[in-house]
């Protein structure tokens, strides 16, 4: 069965799902709304530019958030939270809904192989992540062109490496939720554990356990922290706040972009492989 056929079959299930549409509308409306809420505020920042380098920390008008190249950083950071919530929830739903409504069993009994069925799930997860990334690009370009005077190609693309990292972050959150969906099979339980792990448990393990036993940068190489560091709080905004903390820690508070990309890619592969193993062992 071809890739587009598998994707179409998955889309047929989603397009009639009210929860999916509610989450999609939430994502589409909340990202620009949250972004615009920052207008008019003054914040402490350490903004630099390509020509003069970082300036001393000072009160910074939030209008810089909407200009190239900073628009990619700040919009991506806000998208980080929505990716966690929306892509995570959808990652669970595309698995548990099929189990709850016996769609998985029906698809396989009517001739679809297990490999084809699982491939379709991965394809829809990647497609939704790509859709979220394209939306991020459109918003970034729109806000950037409206608020930036004298745009140049170099200015527009200066922080555009965040775009593929944004996509990878969507896949990372979605693949972890996808794995929990296969592991627990029940929507409510998988969602609760997803939220608890991402927001509380991993942080507790890192800061209350790992930091006391092995206080070095290895405490940052956990799956959801690596995903978050793909599109972290903008450094020109975070640096004044993080400086004292990093001096106490003795190492950086964030992973580098390369570290975050490699670590997240490894975890994505692990979650998808574990999901496949779990799926292959399940009874129809």
Q: What is the pLDDT of residues 156-176, one digit of tens each?
A: 999 999 999 999 999 999 999
User: Which of 246, 247, 202 has the alpha carbon at shortest distance from 221?
Assistant: 202
Q: Please give the residue range of the domain that contains residue 222.
A: 3-44+53-281
| Predicted local confidence at residue 1, as pLDDT | 77
Q: Is the pLDDT of residue 56 over 50?
A: no
Residues 161/257, Cβ–Cβ less than 8 Å: yes
Q: What total of structural domains would you count in the chain?
A: 1
Kind of pairing, strands 42-45 and 48-49? unpaired
pLDDT tens track for 73-106: 999 999 999 999 999 999 999 999 999 999 999 9
pLDDT digits (tens, 9 = 90+) for 167-220: 999 999 999 999 999 999 999 999 999 999 999 999 999 999 998 999 899 999
First to last CA, the chain: 21
Convert the pLDDT of each residue in 101-133 to its tens digit: 999 999 998 889 999 999 999 999 999 999 999
Question: Is 247's pLDDT higher than 60?
Answer: yes
Q: How confident is the model at residue 41 (pLDDT cuts 50, 70, 90)?
A: low
Distance from C-alpha of 59 to C-alpha of 45, rounded to nearest angstrom: 6
DSSP state letters, 73-97: HHHHHHHHHHIIIIIHHHHHHHHHH
How does the average pLDDT of the chain come out, rounded? Answer: 89
The SS3 call for residue 27 is helix
Asked whether 215 and 251 are in contact (CB, 8 A), the reply is no
> Residue 138 has what pLDDT?
97
Interval 50-60 mean pLDDT: 43
Per DSSP, the three-state class of 153 is: helix
- Measure Cα distances from 51 to 56, 147, 154 in Å: 15, 20, 12
Note the pTM of the prediction, 2 decimals: 0.91
Residues found in the chain: 284
Contacts of 198 (CB under 8 A, 6+ apart): 84, 88, 173, 176, 224
pLDDT at 183: 97
Q: What pLDDT sits at residue 55?
A: 46
- pLDDT tier, 45 (very low <50, low <70, confident <90, very high otherwise): low
Could you tell me if 256 and 161 are in contact, meaning their C-beta atoms sit under 8 angstroms apart?
no
148-157: pLDDT as tens digits = 998 899 999 9
Residue 135, H or E segment: helix 114-147
């Amino acid at each position: 069965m071809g890739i587009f056929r598998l994707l179409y079959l998955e889309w047929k299930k989603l397009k009639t799902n009210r929860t999916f549409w509610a989450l999609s509308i939430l994502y589409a409306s909340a990202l620009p709304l949250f972004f615009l809420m920052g207008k008019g505020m003054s914040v402490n920042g350490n903004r630099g530019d390509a020509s003069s380098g970082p300036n001393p920390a000072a009160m910074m008008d939030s209008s810089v958030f909407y200009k190239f190249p900073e628009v990619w950083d700040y919009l991506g950071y806000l998208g980080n939270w929505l990716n966690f919530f929306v892509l995570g929830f959808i990652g669970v739903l595309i698995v548990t809904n099929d189990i709850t409504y016996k769609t998985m069993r029906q698809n396989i009994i009517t001739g679809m192989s297990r490999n084809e069925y699982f491939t379709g799930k991965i394809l829809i997860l990647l497609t939704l992540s790509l859709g979220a990334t394209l939306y991020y690009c459109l918003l970034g370009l729109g806000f950037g062109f409206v608020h930036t005077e004298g745009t140049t190609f170099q200015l527009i693309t200066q922080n555009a490496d965040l775009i593929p990292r944004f996509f990878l972050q969507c896949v990372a959150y979605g693949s972890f939720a996808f794995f929990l969906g296969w592991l627990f099979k029940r929507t409510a339980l998988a969602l609760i554990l997803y939220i608890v792990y991402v927001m509380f448990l991993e942080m507790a393990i890192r800061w209350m356990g790992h930091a006391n036993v092995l206080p070095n940068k290895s405490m940052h190489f956990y799956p959801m922290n690596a995903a978050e560091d793909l599109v972290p709080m903008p450094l020109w905004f975070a640096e004044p706040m993080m400086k004292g903390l990093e001096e106490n820690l003795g190492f950086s508070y964030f992973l580098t972009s390369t570290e975050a990309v490699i670590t997240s890619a490894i975890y994505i592969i692990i979650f998808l492989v574990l999901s496949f193993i779990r799926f292959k062992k399940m009874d129809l």
